[in-house]
Amino acid sequence: MGMLLLGPHPSPYHHFPFQFSGASARGFLLPPKGSEQSARELENGEESGCDNLSSDLTEAASEKEKNSPRQKISVTSPPTIAIVVDDVGDTENNLTQWLSINAPLTFAVMPHRPFSSSHAERLWQAGYQIIMHIPTENTKPHSFSGTGQLSLSMDRETVFRTLDADLANIPHVVGINNHQGSAGCDSLQLMTFMCEWARERGFFVVDSNSSRASKVSQAAQSLGMPRRCNEVFIDHDNNPDYIRSAMRNLAEKSRKNGVAIGICHFHRPNTPRIVGEDDPHPTGRGDQFRLRAGCSQLKAGLATCDWCPIRY
């Protein structure tokens, strides 16, 4: 059994806007604002302009690849598991332990926290995948889940503006999931706005499954996005035996369904040690495993999620 990364590797051209032109059915990739590439050359399809742009993009992609860290090895053939580590950014505690785990974990970083940017950078440099952990409105009286949260009262424009501000705080993001959200995640309209924002930016979406009536998967699938849904809360209880049992449960689900996603938490005292001592390689009894590789490119069609409230 292996582990895999949750989402596709971002294109080196991901941040370039795409525009169709009468000069070519394929359209042109436009450089960022301030580029010396002229609009006239693009519109007219002048050879020198197109050649220069192609050369510039190739060199940029080559430089990006050269400077990018080597990602943790991802095993995509079933059975395989994906582990998301939530709540990154509040504390430095456990960072060294997480960095010692040689598996392709996916770290969900909260925006506007003391270590949001620095932890995302360091984890990415170590080869892990980074997604944004979006604070989302809870049920009253504890409706506030964090700075930059999505709220039920927001229209589409406000959701986009809020998420853009959140994203500016976190480098190297390739996907999203929700932080809490026992009210917001139940709103199909709010989650559709969120998924539309993610789709426009080329991000994948993970349904954290943090409420019984979560509409995240429904919203994502309605937009043609794959269904990626948490099936096991690994450290719902901090007891080491509970965490080990949850990891076995995750492994069993992947054996049954081919792939399974589990969520744990960055700050829990026992979690990195227990996750790090495993390696998804089944023993003869088939009930224990060790983490061997990791979390990417999950396909749609996971089994129905088991819901479990999260303790914070």
- Give the tens place of pLDDT for each residue, 178-188: 988 789 999 99
Give the model's confidence band at 5: pLDDT under 50 very low, under 70 low, under 90 confident, else very high. confident
* pLDDT at residue number 8: 54
Q: Which of 64-73, 104-113, 218-227, 267-276 has the lowest mean pLDDT?
A: 64-73
* pLDDT at residue number 59: 57
Backbone φ and ψ for 212, nearest 5 degrees, come out as: -65, -30
**Arithmetic mean of pLDDT, 167-195:** 94
Q: What is the token pair recorded at 214?
A: 């979560």
pLDDT digits (tens, 9 = 90+) for 194-247: 999 999 999 999 999 988 899 999 999 999 999 899 999 999 899 999 999 999
pLDDT digits (tens, 9 = 90+) for 23-39: 323 222 333 334 344 33
| C-alpha to C-alpha distance for 96 and 228, rounded to whole angstroms | 28
The residues, ordered by sequence, that sit 6+ positions from 189 with a Cβ below 8 Å of its Cβ are none
Distances (CA, A) of 66 to 60, 62, 79, 105, 133: 10, 6, 32, 22, 28
Q: What is the token pair recorded at 300?
A: 């749609």
What is the pTM for the complete model shown?
0.74
According to the 3-state scheme, what is the secondary structure of 23-79? CEEEEEECCCCCCCCCHHHHHHCCHHHHHHHHHHHHHHHHHHHHHCCCCCCCCCCCC
| C-alpha to C-alpha distance for 50 and 297, rounded to whole angstroms | 33
| C-alpha to C-alpha distance for 125 and 9, rounded to whole angstroms | 15
**Arithmetic mean of pLDDT, 279-297:** 38
Q: Higher model confidence: residue 78 or residue 161? A: 161
According to the 3-state scheme, what is the secondary structure of the chain? CEECEECCCCCCCCCCCEEEECCEEEEEECCCCCCCCCHHHHHHCCHHHHHHHHHHHHHHHHHHHHHCCCCCCCCCCCCEEEEEEEEECCCCCCHHHHHCCCCCCEEEECCCCCCHHHHHHHHHHCCCEEEEEEEECCCCCCCCCCCCCECCCCCHHHHHHHHHHHHCCCCCEEEEEEEECCCHHHCHHHHHHHHHHHHHCCCEECECCCCCCCCHHHHHHHCCCCCCECCEECCCCCCHHHHHHHHHHHHHHHHHHCEEEEEEECCCCCHHHHHHHCECCCCCCCCCCECCCCEEECCCCCCCCCCCCCCC
| C-alpha to C-alpha distance for 243 and 175, rounded to whole angstroms | 25
Domains along the chain?
2-6+71-297 (3.20.20.370), 18-67 (no CATH)
What is the separation of C-alpha 103 from the centre of its chain, rounded to a whole number of angstroms? 16
Q: What is the token pair recorded at 236?
A: 């719902």
* pLDDT at residue number 142: 82
